[in-house]
Copies of this chain bind each other. A is one copy, B any other.
Amino acid sequence: MPRMSQYDDDILGLLGQSTRFRGCQEIHVRLAERRPRGRRPPSLSTVYRTLYRLAQDGVLDTLQSPGGERLYRLCGTSSRHHHLLCRACGRVEDIARVEELSEVAERIGQDTGFGELDYSFELSGLCPGCS
């Protein structure tokens, strides 16, 4: 559990270039390609460690891909939101209807007596460009 990494900025910089979610492996090869000004790129282990920590710290947003891979991107400004993934091009769109979902979740909690409710709502489809 490292507290910070010399690669934080590289990773955050890369993620900042787009709003797409990316997997560890992809981030790793991207950083290796760039080979930022002579420095060695981080090892795969380090990318995993760093992404894990940044996600824990709430800096990164994570999403479980259909294939079982964990994807990351910068947290938006909005406190809580969901994502709509284009199955064809991988583009991700933010979903505005957070309140509607949290209301549903709340009602479900009341229905069932469950506490400490946590939920994830993952949408996928074909974006206008791809369909």
* Chain A interface residues toward B at CB < 8 A: 64, 68, 84, 86-87, 93, 95-97, 100-101, 104-105, 107-109, 111-128, 131
**Residue of A64, A93, A111, A116 ringed by the most chain B CB atoms within 10 A:** A116
Provide the bound-state CA to CA distance between A84 and B110, in Å.
12
Which residues from B are CB-within-8-Å of A108?
Answer: 84, 95, 97, 123
- A102 → B minimal CB distance (Å): 11
Provide the bound-state CA to CA distance between A73 and B96, in Å.
33
User: A112 and B131: CB pair below 8 A?
Assistant: no
- A48 → B minimal CB distance (Å): 14
Q: A86-B114, A95-B108, A113-B128 are in contact. Are A122 and B119 (CB under 8 A)?
A: yes
- A96 → B minimal CB distance (Å): 7
Which residues from B are CB-within-8-Å of A112?
Answer: 84, 93, 95, 127-128
Contact pick for A119, options B114, B116, B123, B131, CB 8 Å? B123
Considering the complex, give the chain B residue whose CB is closest to the CB of A119: B123
User: A116 and B109: CB pair below 8 A?
Assistant: no
Provide the bound-state CA to CA distance between A125 and B110, in Å.
12
Considering the complex, give the chain B residue whose CB is closest to the CB of A120: B122
Provide the bound-state CA to CA distance between A86 and B109, in Å.
12
